[in-house]
Amino acid sequence: MSPFSLLRTVFAAFVIGFPTHLAGQLILSEVYYDHVGSDNGYEWVEIANVGTTTVDLSTWSLGWGGSDYTYGTLQLSGTIAPGATFVVGGPISDPVNANPTYDLAIDFDPDIQNGGASADGIALFDVVAEDIKAASIPVDAVIYAGTNTNNLLDETGNPGATDVADVTNGWSIQRIDLEGTWAQNEFPSPGTLAFGLGSDTLLLSEVFYDPVGTGDDGLEWVEIINPGSTAVDLSSWSLGWGGLNLVYGQLQLSGTIAAGATIVVGGPVSSAANQNPSFDLAVDLNPDLQNSGAAADAVALFNLPASSVSASTVPVDVVIYGGTNSNNLIDETGAIGTVDVGDAASGQSIVRINLAGAWQIQNTPTPGIAAFAFGDPVTGVRILSVNTTTGTVQLEITLATAASVDIESSGNLAPSSWQPESTVALPAGTTTVSVTLSPVPDRAFLRVLESGP
């Protein structure tokens, strides 16, 4: 097994659609399916454990095919430690298939399909191989090559969109972020991830760009979170914003952000007009963040110093807000992004509600306090109110199906240490839940996830 390593620039953050609970989450991270010459004995699949506990693979399996995922199935075995990768396949290892070190050396029989006009897919299941059916919903899947004319299922149980185009033989398809973005990879890297987890993973979590009144100057702010497991030095990080591109305005960040913590950048004015933020980096955002209109605007986070960022630089994270993205602002993949959220009214903010990148308008901004959904069936979490005297936080939690969920917190009082706050059984749909944090923090990052077994 290999530890997570950072292969290239970190792209966006986490994924929604994880299995059940945060402890022991597995994802597909790279697939090598089209060898130079015959594929037999050379194909491999890389799996990553992005959870916090070791996973026993005796109940996990792979499936692949074009009509459904039962064309070929493979029972997995062994274990995957947290923060590790697991390479299955082969059993041949040579320079042409990038010299994989196999954790499970076994021939994919029949071979993984090479794609064509109709898409093919490979899927990861939390059931034994003999229980995989055509209608089984995978924990994770990558659909590749052509159009998904056979309605291969994604992690929601619905026909999925094609994730990545077909590759030239000798290339792999590789996941480039935890959100589930895939790309063609000319240089396969078995055992090494193309994204960071923990060491350099930061996200935008809330943006306040339009205070009540005629002037935004000195009142705007941006909240950033570190959902990873280690502190991040901000000297190589920067913000960018604009409407025509992401460098209309730029800000070099500084300081550090602890694991499981939030920081608030902006101001430097703190008043009731902007919900009294406590700034970690008090600096005027100059020029002001744009207030949007018919054409969308955006705020972006870069893992580069501001001096190294250009209009074509791909951000680690970005939120596109307001109207239509008529100026083709780019997202975390480098492609033209879709609008994430509408335009907030004066006095409101825009806030991230899950690690997958869903955003909503927040009626009452909450600088320094973030709350996210961490995996299915929790699809969204929004803070309705924060009582800074009692530490009571009112949450709006949305579930796809009824479940028991854990509410946990981390913050500047105990960064990187998740503290249980409440466990509650909730119905499908949206429910309001209150939790009281003690001692009362001025920073907090709350996560909501399905209770473990």
Residues of the chain with pLDDT under 50: 1-24, 197-199, 412-416
Q: DSSP readout, 99-146?
A: ----SEE---SSPPP---SB-EEEEEESS-GGG--TTPPPSEEEEESS
* Contact (Cβ atoms closer than 8 angstroms) between residue 351 and residue 362: yes
User: Which 3 state secondary structure label does DSSP give 306?
Assistant: helix
d(CA 65, CA 121): 6
Q: Which residue has the tokens 């780019």?
A: 330
pLDDT of residue 17: 30
pLDDT of residue 371: 80
* pLDDT tens-digit series, residues 294-329: 999 999 999 889 999 999 888 889 999 999 999 999
* pLDDT tens-digit series, residues 19-34: 333 334 799 999 999 9
pLDDT of residue 417: 59
- Of 144, 168, 169, nearest to 37 (Cα)? 169
pLDDT of residue 408: 84
d(CA 318, CA 175): 18
Token pair, residue 103, equals: 């954790």
d(CA 102, CA 310): 40
pLDDT of residue 148: 95
* Contact (Cβ atoms closer than 8 angstroms) between residue 195 and residue 10: yes
pLDDT of residue 442: 67
Taking the model in full, what pTM does it have? 0.59
d(CA 346, CA 339): 19
Pairing of strands 297-302, 317-321: antiparallel
Q: What angle do CA 356, 358, 361 make, to 5 degrees?
A: 155
d(CA 194, CA 46): 12
Length of the chain measured in residues? 453
Q: DSSP readout, 201-262?
A: --EEEEEE---SSS--TTT-EEEEEE-SSS-EEGGG-EEEEESSSTTSEEEE--SEE-TTEE
pLDDT of residue 412: 46
d(CA 364, CA 368): 13
Token pair, residue 301, equals: 């986070």
